[in-house]
Structure 1
Amino acid sequence: MAVEHTPPSTYILRELHDVAIPDSVTWAPQTIGWKILGVILLLVAIYLAYRLAQKWWNNRYRKEALQELMILDARDKNSTERTFKVLKVVLRYLDSSNAKLFGQAYVNRLNAYLPVSANTSENSNAFFADEVSELWMQSLIDPNVRLSFEQRLEVIQTAMMWLKLHKPDLQAKPDVQAKPDVQAKPEGQDNV
Structure 2
Amino acid sequence: MTIHKLPGTYMLRELQDVTVPDAISWQPQTAGWLLLALLLGALALLWLYHRVQRWWQQRYRREALAALRALNWSDAGASLGLFHIIKAVLTHLDPRHAKLFGMALLQTLDNALPDRQPRFATELGERWLVSLVCDQVVLSVSDQLCLVSLCSDWLAHHQPPVHTASRAAEARHA
> TM-score when scaled to structure 1?
0.71
The 8 Å contact of residues 114 and 126 in structure 1, kept in 2 or not, is answered as no
Structure 1 portions without partners, runs of 5+: 1-7, 11-16, 117-121, 172-192
After superposition, what is the alpha-carbon deviation per residue over 1:67-89, rounded to whole angstroms, capped at 9, x for unaligned? Answer: 11112233322111100000011
* Cα pair distance change 1:133/1:18, threshold 3 Å: same
Question: What corresponds to 2:69 in structure 1?
Answer: 70
Q: Is 2:97 the counterpart of 1:126?
A: no
In the alignment, the residues of structure 1 paired with residue 22 and residue 154 of structure 2 have an alpha-carbon distance, to the nearest angstrom, of 65
In the alignment, the residues of structure 2 paired with residue 160 and residue 166 of structure 1 have an alpha-carbon distance, to the nearest angstrom, of 10
Equivalent residue runs for 1:48-63 within 5 Å: 48-63=47-62
1:157 pairs with one of 146, 149, 163:
149
Question: What corresponds to 1:144 in structure 2?
Answer: 136
The 8 Å contact of residues 115 and 170 in structure 1, kept in 2 or not, is answered as no
In the alignment, the residues of structure 1 paired with residue 73 and residue 145 of structure 2 have an alpha-carbon distance, to the nearest angstrom, of 5
Whichever structure has more helix as a proportion of its residues is 2
Structure 2 portions without partners, runs of 5+: 1-5, 9-15, 164-174
Q: Is 2:88 the counterpart of 1:89?
A: yes
State the identity as a percent: 37
The 8 Å contact of residues 103 and 121 in structure 2, kept in 1 or not, is answered as no
The 8 Å contact of residues 113 and 167 in structure 1, kept in 2 or not, is answered as yes
Coordinate RMSD, CA, aligned? 2.8
* Cα pair distance change 1:19/1:153, threshold 3 Å: closer
Equivalent residue runs for 1:1-192 within 5 Å: 22-116=21-115, 122=116, 125-169=117-161
After superposition, what is the alpha-carbon deviation per residue over 1:94-124, rounded to whole angstroms, capped at 9, x for unaligned? Answer: 11111111111111111111113xxxxx4xx
> TM-score when scaled to structure 2?
0.78
In the alignment, the residues of structure 2 paired with residue 85 and residue 76 of structure 1 have an alpha-carbon distance, to the nearest angstrom, of 15
